[in-house]
């Protein structure tokens, strides 16, 4: 891995508080790799051998059952993914594939487990990180169970705008079909949902969303910090959080 990656990783909440000695040893065991787009990095069910750190690019976490597939999360730099499986030394519950060319650093799970037994600060950071991940999935599940698809789309748009500093306009960070899957609907339905939101202050031009009436959108979205909020996941302030 590159030497200039280390300070970036060190900034992550997960690695910020551990001793320099332990951090360096962990980094020594790690290695970086660059993957092309559409490559399956992880297959659900396989043993979890590595903690992954996104340095550049985009990765989709998804799950399959029978012939169906759904997006569980989209990961952007700089953040880690599939921490829990590594900790439990259990099979991955989700698969991962690159959405675009991505550079990823991989840390052997056993080094990780050894380190939080050695370094109490790292243990505390791991606890905090896991609690955040847990709460993030709970929010996802709440959104799915409590809102219909139109409301989920509205809430998504409202949230993205908030994250961009209440911007009246922003560009969707990933393909619409991927967003649709993340939000638990078909691409067709996503398309129709946005169209139906025209009457509630949302316009679209290609990948760009334009909010023409924030109050109206807010009324549909019904934003709720207990669903749409985010605990700081990776040590970034909320305004720059890498969430999709």
Q: Does 123 bind its own copies (CB under 8 A)?
A: yes
Q: 25-40: string of b/e by CB count within 10 Å (b at 16+)?
A: bbbeebeeeebeeeee
Q: According to the binding rule CB under 8 A, does residue 106 interact with its own copies?
A: no
Instruction: Verify binding: residue 226, its own copies, rule CB under 8 A.
Output: yes
**Which does residue 130 touch among its own copies, DNA, none (CB within 5 to 8 A, set by kind)?**
its own copies
Q: What angle do helix axes 149-163 and 120-146 make, rounded to 10 degrees?
A: 140
For residues 26 and 19, the answer to whether their CB atoms sit within 8 Å is no
Task: State in angstroms the smallest separation of the CB of 99 from its own copies.
Answer: 19
Contacting DNA within 148-207 (CB under 7 A): 148-150, 175-177, 184-195, 204, 206
In eight-state DSSP terms, residue 37 is T
Binding site partner of 240, from its own copies, DNA, none, Cβ cut-off 5-8 A by kind: none
Taking CB within 5 to 8 Å according to partner kind, which of its own copies, DNA, none is near residue 215?
Answer: none
Our CB check for its own copies shows the closer of 5 and 15 to be 15
Q: Rule CB under 8 A: is residue 64 a binding residue for its own copies?
A: yes
Look at the chain and count its residues: 244
Q: 162 is in the binding site of which of its own copies, DNA, none (Cβ under 5 to 8 A by kind)?
A: none
Task: Note the Cα 160 to chain centre separation in Å.
Answer: 13
β-bridge mates for residue 60, sequence order = 74, 97
- How is residue 190 written in tokens? 């996503």
Report the C-alpha gap between 33 and 132 in whole angstroms: 27
Torsion of CA 3, 7, 9, 14, to 10 degrees: 140
Partner from DNA, its own copies, none contacting 187, C-beta within 5 to 8 A by type: DNA
Residues that bind its own copies (CB under 8 A): 44-45, 63-66, 68-70, 72, 83-85, 87-88, 90-91, 93-94, 116-117, 120, 123-124, 126-128, 130-135, 137-142, 144-147, 184, 222, 224-227, 231
């Amino acid at each position: 891995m590159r030497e200039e990656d280390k300070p970036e990783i060190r900034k992550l909440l997960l690695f910020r508080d551990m001793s320099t000695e332990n951090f360096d040893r962990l980094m020594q065991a790690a290695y970086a790799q660059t993957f092309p787009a559409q490559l399956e990095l992880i297959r659900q069910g396989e043993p979890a051998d590595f903690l992954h750190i996104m340095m550049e690019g985009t990765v989709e976490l998804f799950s399959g059952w029978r012939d169906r597939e759904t997006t569980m999360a989209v990961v952007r730099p700089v953040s880690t993914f599939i921490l829990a499986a590594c900790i439990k030394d259990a099979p991955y519950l989700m698969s991962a594939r690159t959405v675009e060319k991505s550079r990823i650093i991989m840390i052997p799970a056993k080094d990780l487990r050894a380190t939080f037994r050695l370094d109490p600060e790292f243990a505390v950071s791991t606890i905090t990180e896991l609690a955040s991940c847990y709460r993030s999935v709970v929010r996802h599940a709440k959104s799915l169970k409590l809102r219909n698809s139109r409301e989920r789309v509205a809430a998504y748009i409202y949230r993205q705008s908030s994250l961009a500093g209440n911007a009246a306009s922003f560009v969707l960070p990933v393909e619409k079909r991927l967003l649709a899957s993340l939000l638990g609907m078909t691409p067709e339905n996503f398309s129709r949902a946005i169209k139906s939101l025209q009457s509630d202050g949302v316009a679209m031009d290609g990948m760009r969303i334009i909010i023409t009436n924030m109050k109206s959108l807010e009324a549909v979205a019904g934003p709720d910090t207990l669903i749409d909020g985010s605990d700081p996941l990776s040590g970034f302030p909320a305004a720059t959080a890498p969430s999709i």
